[in-house]
Chains A and B, each alone.
Chain A
Amino acid sequence: MDKGMKTRWISLYVENQVGVLSKISGLFSGKSYNLDSLTVGTTEDPTVSRMTIATVSDDETFEQIKKQLNRMVEVIKVIDFTDVFVRMKEILYIKVRKCSPADKVELFQIAETFKARVIDYGKDSLLLEFVQTATKNDAVVKLIKEEFKNIEVVRGGSVGIESISMMER
């Protein structure tokens, strides 16, 4: 059944209009497509927004998702990130409370290892900021959950852009 079931990425140019986000997310819920992550923001052109979407699907469903997105009037362009070199990052904040001095030392070490930044500091709390791939963020969240109890996690969802091609370099 699950022919080629895996996470896939799509980048989408859409009209920056009221209701477009609802229409895109409605397509996924209405047709029972998985929607793992969706981010949206305006582009250099304020009338255009760009979305980065992650979906776990098989080959056939993924083809269908792209077609369904393409036929929407508000969708300007669909880019399949599957076979493209892309730069993709997700922002992750983790606040840890009730830290002992030893905890803090460990958190600084984690930050160092994962190239995170400690962006806020309290008497017994720390706030960490990670900007890395979603997969690495998964690993960090897992690690910190195992080590610390009083944590608060906020993730931004991935944004991606195609790399500069060899031709242009």
Chain B
Amino acid sequence: MRQITGNKLLVKALKEEGVTTLFGYPGACTIDISDELYRQSGIDIILPRHEQALVHEADAYARTTGKVGVCLVTSGPGATNLVTGLATANYDSVPLVCFTGQVARHLIGNDAFQEVDIVGITRSITKYGVTVRNREDLGRIIKEAFYIARTGRPGPVLIDLPKDVMAELGSAEYPKNVNIRGYKPNTSVHMGQLKKALKMLQKAKNPLFLAGGGVNIANANEIFTSVVEKTQIPVVTTVMGRGAISTKHPLFIGNLGMHGAYAANMAVTNCDLLFSIGTRFNDRITGKLHEFAPNAQIVHIDIDTASISRNIHVDVPIVADAKEAITKMAEYVTECNTKKWRAEIDAWKNEHPLTMKNRPLMGPLDIFNEINKQFDKVIIVTDVGQHQMLTSQFVDITENRKLVMSGGLGTMGYGLPGAIGAQIGNPGTPVISISGDGGMQMNIQELATAVLEELPIINCIFNNTYLGMVRQWQKLFYGKRYSMTNLRSGALSRRTDGQEYPKYTPDFIKLAESYGAKGIRVTSREEIAAAFEEARKSTRVPTVIEFIIDPEEMVYPMVKPGGTLADLIMDC
């Protein structure tokens, strides 16, 4: 029988799994794999500038293509730099397979150069992780990794590859089938439970759909929309569920939660049946737990049993893939009489429409309006903070417009690498990244990757010279003591006791230009349209548009910390 090295088998496995793009950063323990990839062409290798950005890029690539994102990094620091990205992917259920180099088996445990126990470190933030200890297990482990990553509730899988195992000769066979006795993801829908839930739906006076990220991950948007239209039941979404139904649809109310729309939060508070799909009732959406949806019976469809009845008590639990369940629902549902209920919701909408106060200066809303106007088809990737919440409130997400963000973990620095991954996976689609000036600087080195990969990403920086979301809390709840949030603070402000601050650094325009990207600074409302038009002309070069934003801009409405969903701060 023909024998090949582990390195050769790995590359063969990647090809058999249909991997066309790999995000990799080399090192001593993976140099043989790099060499094997060099010799066997066929896989595009993206070389980012930092492993944290690398894993975010693979993550956004996976989110926007539906494929498994593949990472290859070296042992030690290469591996530990994955940690934040793995946790990000784990919270947002993103399928990744990450290969980490490891020192040779006889060195493991000796504190060898660039040795860390990465499987141990990442145990609680991966779906599965394993060190390959025997060459004969390699093929099976890779096969299982791809299967585990993409099935059930998707998630990141880490495979640790000791250098000597990979050099060893062994079988050239890559297995065709998977059989893991402890892992049998649920695929069928329990029809008894589903019918019980649908009966409750028909009886309810004020029924409400709550769609979470699971609906988007399952690609159930179209069938979900048809169920909504058939039943005439209004919809609220979580931030991750935005786009489950077009945000322009008349039955869409808005996001619920901490920065949810007033009408959406009121609808949750007043509904008598909350039919939720693919959400884990995170604390940011429930507000005060025991006053969440106080009048409602709750149905919960989720692929992950552990997400059901964890945070809130559920009356009818249904473990199922969102698309499977909604498709079954579509066969049975009929129109519900929701006329009166919808009128009630419309009244809330009119009472406190979701908008931002008109200001003399350029504000975020002006930018969002322009994005909504200029781009029919677009992928929007955000960073984390005020701009993220505002994007989730004001940017239209429809069949052709997708929103990508770090929702669960809230990882600053996701925006730029996320946009890179999305653009690599979707070469023909315009990709806009929206970041604050803080988050942008957490992975700004990736401008080099964007330039070298010739990605025409439009990077919008909302520069308010502050870490805005924390500042917002300080403004509202901490007596305007802006501790640690002013990005111009340093020796000068310390010396002058906060009286003087230097000019903002960096100059994002010069910085963009030094990387070979285009840079446009926008300081007034009138310049917005032209800036986007200019950026859109570019087909192979990224553009950075820096918008100078008033630090006093806030995200409203806002649930008071510890408050109920109905307990909203509307404006100061």
Contacts and interface: CB of A to CB of B under 8 A. Distances in A.
Interface of A: 14-15, 17-19, 22-23, 26-27, 30, 60, 63-64, 67-68, 70-77
B67 interface: no
Contact of A76 (B124, B181, B304, B305): B181
Given A74-B182, A76-B181, A60 B127 contact: no
Given A15-B182, A19-B130, 16 more contacts: A18-B131, A18-B133, A19-B123, A22-B120, A22-B123, A26-B123, A64-B310, A67-B305, A67-B308, A71-B304, A71-B306, A72-B182, A73-B182, A75-B182, A76-B181, A76-B182
Q: Lowest 3 A-B CB distances belong to which pairs?
A: A67-B306, A76-B182, A73-B128
Contact of B123 (A23, A63, A64): A23
23 contacts: A14-B182, A15-B182, A18-B131, A19-B119, A19-B123, A22-B120, A23-B123, A26-B124, A30-B124, A60-B309, A63-B309, A64-B310, A67-B305, A67-B308, A68-B306, A70-B305, A71-B304, A71-B305, A71-B306, A73-B128, A73-B183, A75-B182, A76-B181
Contact of A73 (B119, B124, B127): B127
Contacts of A74: 182
B572 interface: no
Contacts of A14: 182
Contacts of B128: 73
Contacts of A72: 182
B94 interface: no
Contacts of B127: 73
Contacts of A75: 182
Contacts of B183: 73
A37 to B, nearest CB: 22
Interface string B180-213: 1111000000000000000000000000000000
Nearest to A69: B306
B353 to A, nearest CB: 39
A73 B148 contact: yes
Nearest to B133: A18
B101 to A, nearest CB: 18
Contacts of B182: 14-15, 72-77
Interface in B283-316: 304-306, 308-310
Given A18-B133, A64-B306, A73 B180 contact: yes
Contacts of B130: 17, 19
Contacts of A71: 304-306
A14 B309 CA distance: 25
Interface string B504-545: 000000000000000000000000000000000000000000
A27 B182 CA distance: 17
Nearest to A77: B182
Contacts of A76: 181-182
Contacts of A68: 306
A76 B305 CA distance: 16
B179 to A, nearest CB: 12
A76 B183 CA distance: 7
Nearest to B125: A30
A75 B127 CA distance: 13
Contacts of A15: 182
A73 B123 CA distance: 12
A157 to B, nearest CB: 22
Contacts of A22: 120, 123
A72 to B, nearest CB: 7
A54 to B, nearest CB: 21
* Most B-side CB within 10 Å, residue of A19, A76, A77: A19
Contacts of A70: 305-306
Contacts of B305: 67, 70-71
